[in-house]
Amino acid sequence: MIKIIQLLKENPDMIQLLKENKLSLVGINEIEKTAILDAFEEDIKQKSGYWS
Amino acid sequence: MGDNSQKIKKAIIKIISNEVLIKEVLKNMIITFIEKEQFSFGELCVLHYEEYCGNFDHEIYEIAAAIELIVIAFDIVDDLQDQDKPYIWTETPELSLNAVLVMLTVASKIIRNSNFEHAQSALNHIEEYILSSINGQHLDLLNQCNDETSYLQMIEMKSASLSVMSCVVGTVLATGKVSEEIIQYAKALGIIQQIKNDIHGLKDWNQSNDLLNKKYSLPIIYLFSMDHPLSFQLKRYYQGDRFPLNTEEINNFVIDSGALQYALAIKNVYKSGALLAIENVVTNKEFKSYLKKIMK
């Protein structure tokens, strides 16, 4: 999971491709994929809540 | 649902006040300690009992009070061991520890003396999860869980054991048994809350900050895995090198690195499994909605 998040942070374009199912992450199942995508969404929404 | 908290609080005050073997000064101290608590663990116990019992027995509030006394006692011990937060019980640690011993003894007495058919089974489960939580606490104090697998195992023992205990006791008292799905979502609940605490544990640069205290958590494990100058600096800090930390720079590193997304993604994996288990096993709409809300 760590390596995947690092990869997505370094290549943010991949997040959109992942959302559109145009990209497949080897070793990551559907639940983990959704969890990761939600985490990127959640972080944006809650950043002010966590870090204000 | 909030009504349960008040009933649990009243039950604790009544139990402590009526216990003839405790001195007034100790009673007052314990009652002061519980004053600002939310009683969410006791509430989980009551709600699980309510969901599965045929006839609601109000004695469950005394059991929930016992659960809360155990959880608050563990919370006090944790704060005294960490020495990182200025709480009411950290003012006089030696007296607080005495209060903890009373709280655990009284909790055991309440359950042993209860009239529930499955009280002994509930007590067996409580002992199992208490010991598991103590094992987790010990691992946490050793501060050696510095990879994802060992860290998640540690918080499953330390934190999730207490949420599982609360749900299991309510269910066992109602039916004499408990399903794997309930254990699964109860475990996830504890882990989710701990991950949220981990994220907050990096927010403020005060005496509670996990990085300053050289503690491990999921976001910190992520930071340490990075090939970045600040990651190496943090490793040197954890190894005991003395130098000033640029907290603003590290704060930005935490935010920009992906450490938060990593912790949130792990949290979401647990949440996903828990929601599925809740859907499969919980029938009451209000209860289901409550559980889903606290999983967020």
For the stretch B27-80, pLDDT in tens is 999 999 999 899 999 999 999 999 999 899 999 999 999 999 999 999 999 999
* Residue-level pLDDT at A47: 56
Write down the mean pLDDT value for chain B.
95
Q: For chain A, how far is it from start to end, CA to CA, in angstroms?
A: 27
pLDDT in tens, B249-269: 999 999 999 999 999 999 999
List of residues 6+ apart from B223 with CB closer than 8 A: B230, B231, B234, B253, B254, B257, B259
Closest CA to A37 of B88, B282, B59, B265: B265
pLDDT band at B141 (very low <50, low <70, confident <90, very high): very high
Between A6, A8, A43, which is nearest B264 by CB? Answer: A43
Q: Chain A contact for B93, CB < 8 A?
A: no
Average pLDDT for B276-286:
93
Our CA angle for B5, B173, B293, nearest 5°, is 45
Nearest Cα neighbor of B276 from B159, B180, B142, B172 is B180
- What is the band of B205 on the pLDDT scale with cuts at 50, 70, 90? confident
Task: Give B46-89 as a DSSP string.
Answer: HHHHHHH-SS--TTHHHHHHHHHHHHHHHHHHHHHHHT-S--GG
Q: Does B101 touch chain A (CB under 8 A)?
A: no
Put simply, the answer to whether A8 touches B226 (Cβ < 8 Å) is no
pLDDT at A52: 44
Q: Is B272 on the interface with A (CB under 8 A)?
A: yes
**What pLDDT is recorded for position B67?**
98
What is the spatial distance between Cα B234 and Cα B245, in angstroms, rounded to a whole number?
A: 9
pLDDT at residue number B263: 97
What ipTM did this prediction achieve? Answer: 0.90
Mutate which of A8, A15, A51 to disrupt the B interface (most B C-beta within 10 Å)? A51
Put simply, whether B266 touches A (Cβ < 8 Å) is yes
> Residue A50 above 80 pLDDT?
no
User: Which range among B97-111, B181-195, B220-234, B242-256 shows the weakest confidence by mean pLDDT?
Assistant: B242-256
Cα of B268 to nearest chain A Cα, Å: 5
| Cα-to-chain-centroid distance, residue B210 | 17
Q: Is the pLDDT of residue B2 over 80?
A: no
What's the CA gap between B140 and A34, in Å, rounded? 30
Q: Which residue has the tokens 């009544």?
A: B14
- Minimum mean pLDDT range among A18-32, B66-80, B222-236: A18-32
